[in-house]
Each structure stands twice: as C-alpha cells, then as structure tokens.
Amino acid sequence: MTHLWWARRDLRLDDNPALLSAQEGSPAAAVFAWTPALHFWSGRRRAHLARVLWSLREDTGGALAVRRGEAADAVLAAARQADATAVWASQEYTPSGVREQKHVAAALEADGRELRMIGSPYAVAPGRVTKGDGTPYRVFTPYRGAWREHGWRSPAAPADADAFVRLPRDSADADLDQIAAHADAEDPLERTEEFRERRVREDLEAFVDDRVEHYGDERDRPDLDSTSRLSSALAFGLVHPRTVLALTGAVDHPAARTFESEIAWREFHADTLWHEPQARRESLSTVVLEDDWATGAEADAAFVAWRDGRTGFPLVDAGMRQLASTGWMHNRVRMVVASFLVKDLHLPWQRGADYFRRALVDYDHAQNQLNWQWVAGTGRDASPYFRVFNPETQAGKFDPHRRYVERWVPELDTPAYPAPMVDHKVERERALELNRRAKARVQR
C-alpha cells in the first residue's frame, strides 16, 4: 500500500516524522500544493520557495510533485493517483494553516481516505507548554523554563531518498523554473538565500563549530557575521529546530544557551498566536488610542521615506536598504527600524508588519506579527512602550566603526544624504504623551 506525503513547511528529508511515517513499510508518493494564496506572496518569497522545491524534487529523484490548486484538490488528486488511503503531513498551527488542513482532511474523508498528522515546525508544539492551571504563559522567561523542562525528542532519522514513488505527470504540475524566473524579474534581489538542504546543514554545523561561542557577545553587531542566518531555513522547513538544538546542546558554553533562547522566542510567539489568533492583526494591549495614530498624506509620505531608507537616520536607512536589496535584515536593526516607525513616526505596527511580509524572504507569520507587537509594546511580554530606541545611540553602540551603515548608505556624509526627518527627542516625548493618554482612557 502506497502512502502520500503532503509536503508543507517541512521541505527536507532529514528529521521529518511525517515523511518517515509515509515511507514506513513501502515507498511513498509526495506532493506540494502550489495554492492560489502563494500568488499574494512577494516575488522574492515565491522565487525562494520555487528553488527550495526544485532542490527537494532533485533530492527525491524527481518524485516530488508540485501541483497548482487549492490544497484540498491537489492533495486529493495526488492521493487518488497514488492509490493512497493515508496521507501524512506535519501539523500547522497558524490560523491559515489550521484552516487548510481541515479542508484537506474533509476532502480526503469524503473520498474514503485519511489525513494523519504528525510533527510540527517546532521543537515543542504550540499548546504543549502551559502553567499549572492549564493556561498559557504570557511572560517569556517562565515559558522558556517550562519549555526547557518539557524538552523535545531527538532528531528523527533521515528519510530514504530512494524510497519514493513518482506520480504521473498532470496538467496541474507547476513549472518551478518558470515561476522562479518570473518572480526574480518581478522582484530582484542582490543575492539569493541558501535553498539546498545539505548546504543549510553544512552552514549550521559551521556556525555551531566556529561562531556560536561568540554569539552572546556579537549577536547585536550588524557589522559582524556572527548570527546563524537560519531564519529562512527555519521558515521554509529546510531544517527543524530539533536538529539545531541537538547540535547546540552539545556545546558547553553560555552563548549556546543564549542562542537556544532565540529558538524559544520563536516558539513562544507561535504559542501566543495559537492561543490568541487575533494577534495576527489586532494589538493584544492598547498603547496608543486608535485615533492618535498618524494618518493622511503626511503619514503616508513618512512611511515611504522609512520604506525607502531616506529618513536621515543612518542605521534606520541602512537596515531598510539591506531589506529591500537582500530580503533580510539583522535582528538588532529590525528592532530599531520598527521602533522608529511606531514611536518616532507614530504609525501603527500593522503597517510595518505588512511591509515586512512583502520584503522579507524569511517571513514567518507568528514571528513577524508578534515581534512587531513586541517592539510596539502591544504583545505578550513586550518591550515597554516607554522603551524608545534612539537610532543614533544604537548605531554608536552596535556599529561603532560605521561599517554597516557605510555599506548600505554610501552617500553618508555627503550633501546627497538627507537631514533627519524628525527630531528624535521631540518624537520620543510625543510617543510617551500618546501612551499616557491611552493609559488614562483605559483606566477610566
């Protein structure tokens, strides 16, 4: 009996319980649904996904079918072609992922087939870590402690790259080369993110062997190559966090624990979105009254200056230009540019989150929305609203030799570079006053 693996956000052969389950006892067929929703993605993300799928199809000996259509239709059609009564998939926890798997399960059940879910994109799935009374954690530090205490399984064995059944060609098959070429032309990048599973694993091992011990001291320095650059691989499922934690867990150094805390933050945000699905668009707490956010033509012009890296604040501009050019931005700089948008320009965090969704190759829904809420002071265990990042102080502390800003803002110190668009001290006081007004209204 043939099983079908429905590939989702687990586009790899290594440490993949859903794929292993599909291969148990016999070769498996494999399908990825290229759904209409993907056409709302930016060109850069579509191009990267096409390359990831191309590489995975190569690793499976050409067996991975990529089919256009709604997931329920594509998976059901593939199950019929493979004569598979069981379809195995990794469970999703985002609102859209949950809806999708419900539709697929219903379509399969109506046809006498079954969707079997095993595994997730997380070391500890959302909802597993709770307080003693069964309620979710709202503060990160105790969550992290409970997360560590809960623990996670060892990485699963690699799947058999030769144990696949190739599905017959179909009119719904997607042309990955064409998709990537069109998306590149629509949304060109300075360079592409790594899309091969084996190279991601090599880069991960090199980071753990050579750089993780410096992570605690250097992770906030955008001028240094001291981060793992795993965000895209985690977002697309080229590596599982269990695999990462197994390698870092063997390193007896405080910096490795610091790095693991970043994995815990990723899972805390996913857990928050699982329990609070409205957090994808709604603030979880009020820091500024809705009518006090900047609107109108002047606000739109300020947003464009921020988006284009023309604010007159070098670290902000460098970050936004790096993002536009590469689809990636250093995490410290992400916090600075987000704080500037919300607390210097007084624009709602949703506008920034929407732009990041379009611009980031490593976009992860829970991470993006909840990190923006963290900076805005609206999320769970968020940075206090009164913590307003000073772009100039941040630049002096974390880019002391100006290598980062000079890389991305070559006209710095020339007449071509604009003067600061706002007075940071004035806007900081304005932000705090708006916050005081909101608190007073809420307390009435």
**CA angle at residue 319 from 184 to 316, to 5 degrees?**
140
**CA angle at residue 119 from 70 to 78, to 5 degrees?**
35
pTM of the full structure: 0.95
Tell whether the model's pLDDT for residue 442 goes beyond 90.
no
Given CATH 1.10.579.10, say whether it is the number of domain 290-438: yes
Domain boundaries, the chain: 3-120, 121-154+197-275, 290-438
H or E stretch including 304?
helix 296-307
**pLDDT confidence of residue 444:** 60
**pLDDT confidence of residue 424:** 98
Q: How far is residue 345's CA from residue 339's CA, in Å, rounded to a whole number? A: 9
H or E stretch including 254?
helix 254-275
Tens digits of per-residue pLDDT, 1-40? 789 999 999 999 999 999 999 999 999 999 999 999 999 9
Q: How far is residue 222's CA from residue 169's CA, in Å, rounded to a whole number? A: 47
At the fourth CATH level, the homologous superfamily of domain 3-120 is HUPs (3.40.50.620)
Tell whether the model's pLDDT for residue 441 goes beyond 90.
no
**pLDDT confidence of residue 167:** 96
Given CATH 1.25.40.80, say whether it is the number of domain 121-154+197-275: yes
Average pLDDT, the chain: 96
Tens digits of per-residue pLDDT, 387-440? 899 999 999 999 999 999 999 999 999 999 999 999 999 999 999 999 999 988
CB atoms within 10 A of CB 341: 27
